[in-house]
Amino acid sequence: MEDAPGLTGMAEQGLADEFDFGAIGDELGPETPSKFAQQLSGETNTAVMEQFPEELGSGDLPADRELAFEAEEIGEETDMLDTRIAEAENMLKMLATEQKVLELRREQQAANAARASERRRAALADNIDEKLPPQ
- State yes or no: pLDDT of 127 exceeds 60: yes
pLDDT at residue 44, as a whole number? 77
pLDDT digits (tens, 9 = 90+) for 18-76: 666 555 555 555 555 666 676 667 777 788 777 777 666 655 555 667 777 788 888 89
Inter-CA distances, 53 with 39, 44, 60, 62, 75, Å: 18, 14, 11, 14, 32
Let me know: does 28 contact 18? Beta carbons within 8 Å.
Answer: no
> Which own/partner contact pairs does 60-66 have at CB distance under 8 Å and 24+ positions apart?
none
Q: In terms of residues, how long is the chain?
A: 135
pLDDT digits (tens, 9 = 90+) for 60-116: 555 667 777 788 888 899 999 999 999 999 999 999 999 999 999 999 999 999 999
Let me know: does 30 contact 22? Beta carbons within 8 Å.
Answer: yes
